Structures are given as structure tokens and as C-alpha cells.
Amino acid sequence: MKYDYEKFFEEKLKELANPPAGGDLILDVGGGTPFQKGMAKYRHIFEGRNFKTLDSAPEYKPDIVGDIHNLPLGDSSVGAILCKSVLEHLEDPARAVAEMRRILKPGGKALVYTHFIYPYHARRGVYKDYFRFTEDGLRHLFRHFKFVEIKKEGGYFRA
């Protein structure tokens, strides 16, 4: 049986897999190796789609090596963005959110997952662990997006 959050996440992934113009690029920002970070079970959702990963660490072999603070893509060039467990590792998450908004096409969607209550989890030499975000903090970061929907995962001790 899938938990409420798992259903929500899979439903939102299916929406990302069908961006406004069909063949649009779907970009997993900070995704490392394609379909890592618990994404392998959702690979089927993106079959036949223009799904690419972007990461700053070339050793993960992403499709695009780049920095989320300065995305190497043109304005309004991406139909959908997935950003899973990345914001907490960034020196300037507000700049990263602005960059995601810049590259999204009008009507494009972003699915962003981050932690609130979660142990420290940096990876020496690859990424640090800077932030945890409250619902208020997330609403502030995404205040320039047309629509923001927040779904909590976990209970009192893990959200």
C-alpha cells in the first residue's frame, strides 16, 4: 500500500512527464546519475520523454554538467523541472529557485522536494548541508511562481 505522500509524488511526476508542449525537456536538476535518489522505480513514467539530468558533479555522469545557481540553459527553455533533495545543499537556494523559474517555459511545472526535519547529510568534497525549510520558508522562496502546492511527508518527527 502506498502512503498518501507517495501517491502525491507519483501523481506529480506523471504531470511532469507531460509538459505543455509534449516533447519539451524535463530536467532533473541536481539529479546526479539518471534515476538515482529513489527515482529508479519511476523510470517508466519518463520512457519516451526528453528527460535529462543536470548536476555539478561530473563523476555522477549527468547529461548536463552545470551549477544550479547559474543554469546553462536559455530562458523559457524547459517544460518541467524535478529538483529532489537539492535545496538544502545550496549556498544560495533563492538564486537557484530564481534560475529554475527563469528556464521554465510559461505554463511549465517544477516539482521540488526538500527536507525539514532530517539528519545532517553532507558528502565530503561533493556537497555540503546548509538548510532546512519550513512551509513559510518554501512559500517565500517560491513566491514568484504562479501556483505553489506543498505536501508534507512523514509525521511529527520527520517532515
pLDDT in tens, 17-56: 997 776 799 999 998 899 998 999 999 999 999 999 999 9
Q: How far apart are CA 95 and CA 90, in angstroms?
A: 9
Say how many C-beta atoms besides its own lie within 10 A of residue 106's C-beta: 7
Mean pLDDT of the chain: 89
Among 29-43, 87-101, 106-120, the minimum mean pLDDT is found in 106-120
Structure confidence at residue 127 (pLDDT): 81
Q: Which amino acid is at 156?
A: Y
Q: Using only C-alpha atoms, what is the Rg of the chain?
A: 15
Q: How far apart are CA 124 and CA 57, in angstroms?
A: 12
